[in-house]
Amino acid sequence: MKYKDSGVDIDKASKAAVNIAIAKRRGANAVTVAGDLRERLDALAGSVFPDGVAFEVTRDYGATANQKISDLIASLGVAIVIVVALIGITLGWRAALVVALAVPVCYGITLILDFAAGYTINRVTLFALILALGLLVDDPITGVDNIERHLGRGSDAAKSVIDAILEIRNPLIIACTSGIILNYSGIGLHAVLEETFSIFGRAALPVGLLCVGAAVDVAAARNSGKIVAFSSVLKLIVFPLLMWSLCILLRLDHQLSAIAILFAALPGSPAAYILSRQLGGDSSLIAGIITVQIVAAMVTFPLVMALLAMS
């Protein structure tokens, strides 16, 4: 805190000042601590501080934490609205309602488990929740889309749901579930297994790109040139611009905005080709789209980074 003499800035008036740093205890709520401290200081200023002496809070981590949480909630709300509207238009409002319920329920269960395990909302967990938001919004779309495809065949509803989910199950779901179990149980991974899985993880992207490259049908991609070009422009130019507008609307700080825009400027994932094969889509077209986007991103991504550096 910084004292001021009769409202005059001490830094300019060369008056004496006292700075006091107050830290919260482990597990305490920074927002509550900061609010209680302000109330206590206001009470002291009216009864203890002498005339001509006042206080000023120069740094409030509680307010910063509260702002970050508010930004996360706002982003979650905007993501749910956009996804529900998109699915409602394309697949129907029944499918949209499923996703609208799945996203907040999954987020709520995650926060309950974190609270039960003693985790608090800090910069690390907040960043993880922000990254998980993208996955949480994306996964229900894939599941609902495939379920609708199976229901459209006119087969039994329960069997259609089971068959649809079995089709899209993948190592990522199994790996995430196994990781959660190992983390909460405290067992962990043996050093040899951790290093082995690390090697496999680093090789996943190159192998995926090789699969996409091997599946590229130049003739098919040329015949679908308008679709490939449209999807590439939409992903590499329009989507980053929409994300930039959303960041301005939500008043995110420069660091969070840069992260969101860079993620939006990335080319399509090779996993889209695998999903296309699994779900019976046009895998040759997807392979062509991914290839063109990766090549084009060699130009667009550095351009986005340069624009962010200049802003």
> Which tens digits make up the pLDDT trace of 118-176?
777 766 676 677 667 666 666 677 777 777 777 777 777 777 777 777 776 665 567 66
Q: Which long-range contacts (CB under 8 A, 24 or more apart) does 267-270 make?
A: 267/235, 267/236, 267/293, 267/294, 267/296, 267/297, 267/301, 268/231, 268/235, 268/293, 268/294, 270/205, 270/208, 270/209, 270/211, 270/212
Note whether 171 and 94 are same-domain residues. Answer: yes
Note whether 215 and 226 are same-domain residues. Answer: yes
Note whether 246 and 177 are same-domain residues. Answer: no
CA dist list (Å): 103 to 70, 82, 96, 132: 17, 12, 11, 11
Confidence of residue 217 (pLDDT cuts 50, 70, 90): low
**Using an 8 Å Cβ cutoff, are 276 and 263 in contact?**
no
Q: Give me the DSSP letters along 108-129.
A: HHHHHHHHHHT----HHHHHHH
Kindly give, in sequence order, each residue whose CB lies less than 8 Å from that of residue 222, ignoring residues fewer than 6 positions away. Answer: none
**Using an 8 Å Cβ cutoff, are 239 and 264 in contact?**
yes
Note whether 215 and 182 are same-domain residues. Answer: no
Residue 196 to residue 202: CA distance in whole angstroms: 10
- pLDDT greater at residue 71 or residue 306: 306
Question: Residue 38: what pLDDT?
Answer: 83
Note whether 100 and 195 are same-domain residues. Answer: no
Question: Residue 12: what pLDDT?
Answer: 47
Confidence of residue 7 (pLDDT cuts 50, 70, 90): very low
Note whether 307 and 197 are same-domain residues. Answer: yes
Question: Residue 220: what pLDDT?
Answer: 61
Question: Residue 218: what pLDDT?
Answer: 65
Note whether 209 and 262 are same-domain residues. Answer: yes
CA dist list (Å): 78 to 1, 101, 136, 138, 240: 37, 14, 13, 14, 16
Quick one: average pLDDT of 106-111?
A: 80
Total domains in the fold of the chain: 3
Note whether 70 and 95 are same-domain residues. Answer: yes
Q: How far is CA 125 from the centre of its chain?
A: 11
Note whether 109 and 181 are same-domain residues. Answer: yes
Question: Residue 3: what pLDDT?
Answer: 40
Note whether 134 and 241 are same-domain residues. Answer: no
Q: What is the mean pLDDT of the chain?
A: 75
Q: For residue 238, what is the DSSP state? A: I
Residue 259 to residue 257: CA distance in whole angstroms: 5
Confidence of residue 81 (pLDDT cuts 50, 70, 90): confident
Question: Residue 46: what pLDDT?
Answer: 73
Quick one: average pLDDT of 38-42?
A: 83
Q: Which long-range contacts (CB under 8 A, 24 or more apart) does 141-145 make?
A: 141/83, 141/87, 141/99, 142/168, 142/275, 143/168, 144/87, 144/91, 144/95, 144/98, 144/99, 145/91, 145/95, 145/279
User: The domain containing residue 257 runs over which residues?
Assistant: 189-311
Note whether 305 and 269 are same-domain residues. Answer: yes
Question: What backbone phi and psi angles, to 5 degrees, belong to 253?
Answer: -70, 175
Provide, rounded to the nearest whole percent, the portion of the chain with pLDDT above 90. 0
Q: Angle between the 123-151 and 157-168 helix axes, to the nearest 10 degrees?
A: 130
**54, 73, 91 - which closes a domain:** 54
The mean-pLDDT minimum among 204-218, 232-246, 293-307 falls in 204-218
Question: Residue 221: what pLDDT?
Answer: 63
Note whether 90 and 39 are same-domain residues. Answer: no
Residue 80 to residue 104: CA distance in whole angstroms: 9
